[in-house]
């Protein structure tokens, strides 16, 4: 597992934008498969990249509840955009993965070996760094680590990009996950585009990161550049589009199990599961067995599942959560509440994807605020409750 590390051991450097191609070359020469952001199908998505020219230069995004749109920028910034529909879960915990295959004729059962890729994850936002830490704890920690996840995670090199332009649905400051990147990476970039040019402040946090940086044209960062980068990240922290009240949140959700507000949410929720699919920390899966037409060959596949699926809570005799109300309550109560008991942190990192990609515009921050308001109103009416 590549843990990232302390950011204070290496002096900050600067690289010019054209040096990003040298970064790609250094990564490829070391055997890494580079995955990063690019423009496709009207969104900024993650894909395997062969060249720096594939980065989304000059593109920004506009987000709101139920809305995501690309927009051209007036500069050449590559990373001045907020979270797209995909997270790094897409790479490390894929939507579908074959677990084993079997042939009747030979009686052989073949378990899928880990994929041989060593990934360089380029452009990881601080909120997504926090999400990867959550997935590490859930899928790679404990006595039984998931071999599919660890096979894709081990040996990774993570290149973080600090957030300087949050979106209207972002609330990482509420969750303590950004916009500054403080750990969990090998290299961290802070992008700067102004009259002086297009360049990046670079911090190396691990020997692997320092080794890659050494192969890229760079120079020691001047104090003015360090201040400029720090100011840009600090200003981003004041421009979050959303805020989530976290103090007392798990306790409030536990006390609100019978709140009438769940009916209001259920009247708008389609139980489509979009929020769980785009969430960078939702990890639930199910399995399905398939055979060929002859019945001679069989395979078992694992695929993402969602607590919004009616069969997700199926037990002998039927599903436990048959209503949309109960399924939404399960999701938000686990994500923001009982996740603390289970994994020691919130399951939300404040990326805002669930807000932007909900087709009816349900906003997790607004729903939590509404539940807080109802609880406080009830306490005013009955102070002894």
Q: pTM of the entire structure?
A: 0.92
Q: Are residues 22 and 144 in the same domain?
A: yes
Residues 63 and 128 grouped into a single domain: yes
Q: Which residues contact 265 (CB under 8 A, 6 or more apart)?
A: 325, 328, 329, 362, 367
Say whether both 262 and 320 belong to one domain: yes
How far is 68 from 173, CA to CA, in rounded Å? 21
Q: Is 85 in the same domain as 131? A: yes
Domain-located, residue 3? no
pLDDT for 249: 96
pLDDT at 162: 97
Domain that holds residue 48: 13-97+115-237
Same domain, 182 and 322: no
**DSSP three-state, residue 210:** helix
Assess whether 81 and 175 both reside in one domain. Answer: yes
By the 8 A CB rule, do 201 and 190 touch?
Answer: yes
Q: How far is 352 from 88, CA to CA, in rounded Å? A: 15
Closest CA to 151 of 177, 116, 121: 116
Do both 262 and 229 map to the same domain? no
- 104 belongs to a structural domain: no
Residues 192 and 322 in one domain: no
Residue 107 forms part of a structural domain? no
Q: Which two tokens stand for residue 190?
A: 């802070």
229 and 254 co-located in one domain: no
Which helix (H) or strand (E) segment holds residue 298: the answer is strand 297-304
294 domain-assigned: no
Tens place of pLDDT for every residue, the chain, 385 residues?
444 444 445 689 999 999 999 999 999 999 999 999 999 999 999 999 999 999 999 999 999 999 999 999 999 999 999 999 999 999 999 999 999 999 998 888 888 777 778 999 999 999 999 999 999 999 999 899 999 999 999 999 999 999 999 999 999 999 999 999 999 999 999 999 998 899 999 999 999 999 999 999 999 999 999 999 999 999 999 999 999 999 999 999 999 999 999 999 999 999 999 999 999 999 999 999 999 999 899 999 999 999 999 888 888 888 889 899 999 999 999 999 999 999 999 999 999 999 999 999 999 999 999 999 999 988 888 776 5
> How many domains would you assign to the chain?
2
Q: Does a structural domain hold residue 36?
A: yes
Cα separations (Å) of 50 from 29, 96, 358, 383?
Answer: 12, 24, 32, 63
Q: Are residues 282 and 352 in the same domain?
A: yes
| 93 and 71 belong to one structural domain | yes
Beta-strand pair 157-161/119-124 = parallel
Domain check: are 119 and 209 in the same one?
yes
Cis bond upstream, residue 305 (ω within 30): no
For residue 6, the model assigns a pLDDT of 43
């Amino acid at each position: 597992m590549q843990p990232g590390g302390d950011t204070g051991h290496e002096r900050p450097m600067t690289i010019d934008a054209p040096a990003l191609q040298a970064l790609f070359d250094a990564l490829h020469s070391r055997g890494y498969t580079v995955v990063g952001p690019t423009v496709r199908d009207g969104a900024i998505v993650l894909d395997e990249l062969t060249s720096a020219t594939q980065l989304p230069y000059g593109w920004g995004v506009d987000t709101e509840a139920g809305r995501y749109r690309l927009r051209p920028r007036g500069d050449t910034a590559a990373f001045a955009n907020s979270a797209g529909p995909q997270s790094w879960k897409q790479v490390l915990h894929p939507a579908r993965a074959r677990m084993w295959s079997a042939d009747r004729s030979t009686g052989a059962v073949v378990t899928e070996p880990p994929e041989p890729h060593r990934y360089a994850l380029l452009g990881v936002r601080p909120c997504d760094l926090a999400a990867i830490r959550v997935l590490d704890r859930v899928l790679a920690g404990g006595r039984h680590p998931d071999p599919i996840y660890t096979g894709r995670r081990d040996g990774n090199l993570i290149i973080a990009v600090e957030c300087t332009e949050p979106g209207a649905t972002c609330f990482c400051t509420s969750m303590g996950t950004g916009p500054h990147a403080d750990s969990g990476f090998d290299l961290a970039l802070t992008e700067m585009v102004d009259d002086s040019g297009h360049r990046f402040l670079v911090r190396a946090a691990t020997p692997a990161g320092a080794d890659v940086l050494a192969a890229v044209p760079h120079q020691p960062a001047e104090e003015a550049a360090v201040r400029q980068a720090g100011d840009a990240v600090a200003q981003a922290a004041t421009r979050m589009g959303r805020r989530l009240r976290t103090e007392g949140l798990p306790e409030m959700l536990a006390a609100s199990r019978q709140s009438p507000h769940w009916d209001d949410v259920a009247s708008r929720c389609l139980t489509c599961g979009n929020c769980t699919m785009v969430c960078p920390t939702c990890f639930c899966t199910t399995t399905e067995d398939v055979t060929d037409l002859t019945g001679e060959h069989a395979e078992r596949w694992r695929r993402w599942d969602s607590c919004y699926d009616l069969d997700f809570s199926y037990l002998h005799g039927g599903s436990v959560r048959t209503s949309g109300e109960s399924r939404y309550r399960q999701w938000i109560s686990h994500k923001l509440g009982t996740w603390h008991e289970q994994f020691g942190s919130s399951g939300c990192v404040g990326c805002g994807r669930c807000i932007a990609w909900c087709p009816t515009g349900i906003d997790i921050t607004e729903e939590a605020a509404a539940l807080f308001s109802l609880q406080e109103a009830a306490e005013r009416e009955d102070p002894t409750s």
